[in-house]
Structure 1
Amino acid sequence: MDVLEARARFKELQERDGQVDPCELDQIWAALATVRPEDILGEWKGGEFRTGHPLNGMLAKADWYGKTFAAVHDAKPLICRNAAGELYSNRELGKGEASLWTVEFRGEATATMVYDGQPVLDHFKRVDDTTLMGIMNAKGTPAEGPFYYFFLERAPETPHEGPHAGEGS
């Protein structure tokens, strides 16, 4: 699969209502380009691929919006909405926040978010200029998975009251 085929198939699977085969997501991942941490700074709106992973649906219950990479050492993995609809960094759910590193995954060095308070890594590859594909990896997960597959799209300018607005609401 070349990168153009991978991008087209990614978009199709992103819009699919039903189950997505993780093997197909792995083929797409293999065709995509790696990214550097500095290249993905900013605010991102997130979504997931429903593969049957135990985490499927859990982030929606927390009203997960996406991720914010303010700086390489200032990453907020779980930007959620509070009851008033304001965005905040859910540090309780994420057991802290995170930072971005270049980490080797499946033989390629790519931007990876390393969580501060739990053994979780989110690896990223570029779909296009405004979309990233992510694979969540955690301590104890075998090399073949199961992994949690998700995507991030550059967020439009979103007004909010700072990185921790509405926490505890």
Structure 2
Amino acid sequence: MQLTELMDDIPSTTAAALDLFDGLPAAETDFMIGTWHGAELPTEHPMDGLLAASGWWGKQFVDAETVHPLLFPTPDGRALWPMNPARAFSGVPLAARVPSITSLPVAKPIAATRLLWRARSGKARLRTTRYRGVDSATMLYDQLPINDVFRQLSNDSVLGAMDMKGADRPYFFVLRRNASLPVR
């Protein structure tokens, strides 16, 4: 997915992304149900490039209790599989300390070892929380101190702000509704 498909003026700093985020309407939890294709929104965050290098495809919200936060394509590209985020995010502190790691292509090794990384059930929940003064749909990770808060960009896209405990600023991404691939 190309960000230019969704936004005319793409923010490139945290301040600009927060201005955009704060000006958008809240996303309702029911609106989030479905499968979403994602793209990073580079804002000079230490995690910029990490999801793209991993081959991350998006998220799936089955219902309020069952969310797959990290979807990846199967090697043949005909389906998606859910990754356990507790395993995936164990390397995030390293990526923040060693920025060049985000330029390494790790998508193929992740796909090749997907049976080790695979989530057997949803690893997050969907709730409404207050963030930056607005009640909005929020994905709460089950095993990590991370919340992804969503604001609506259009009828089929949202801007997400990943709020991680201990981080001094959010990490931004965009999701667009896309049910073209089954999740297995």
TM-score by length of 1: 0.79
More helix by proportion, 1 or 2?
2
Alignment pair present for 1:23 and 2:21: no
Deviations 1:3-42 (A, max 9, x none): xxxxx9x71244xxxx812211111111110122112100
Q: 1:52 aligns with which of 38, 44, 50?
A: 44
Conservation of the 8 A alpha-carbon contact between 2:17 and 2:43: no
* Equivalences for residues 103-142 of structure 1 within 5 A: 103-142=129-168
Match of 2:125 in 1: 99
Alignment pair present for 1:159 and 2:181: yes
Q: Could you tell me which amino acid in structure 1 is paired with residue 180 of structure 2? A: T
Alignment pair present for 1:149 and 2:172: yes
Q: 1:89 aligns with which of 79, 82, 90?
A: 82
Check 1:74–1:94 CA distance in 2 against 1; reply closer, same or farther (3 A cut): farther
1:76 deviates by 0.7
Q: 2:62 aligns with which of 58, 61, 70?
A: 70
Aligned residues: 146
Q: Could you tell me which amino acid in structure 2 is paired with residue 59 of structure 1? A: L
Conservation of the 8 A alpha-carbon contact between 1:41 and 1:69: yes
More strand by proportion, 1 or 2?
1
Match of 1:12 in 2: 8
Uncovered stretches (5+) of structure 2, i.e. residues with no partner: 91-118
- Which fold has the larger relative contact order, with Cα–Cα distance below 8 Å and residues 6 or more apart in sequence? 2
Moved over 6 A (4+): none
Conservation of the 8 A alpha-carbon contact between 1:101 and 1:111: yes
Identity %: 27
Aligned-partner SS, 2:51: helix
Uncovered stretches (5+) of structure 1, i.e. residues with no partner: 1-7
Q: Could you tell me which amino acid in structure 2 is paired with residue 90 of structure 1? A: M
Conservation of the 8 A alpha-carbon contact between 1:13 and 1:20: no
TM-score by length of 2: 0.73
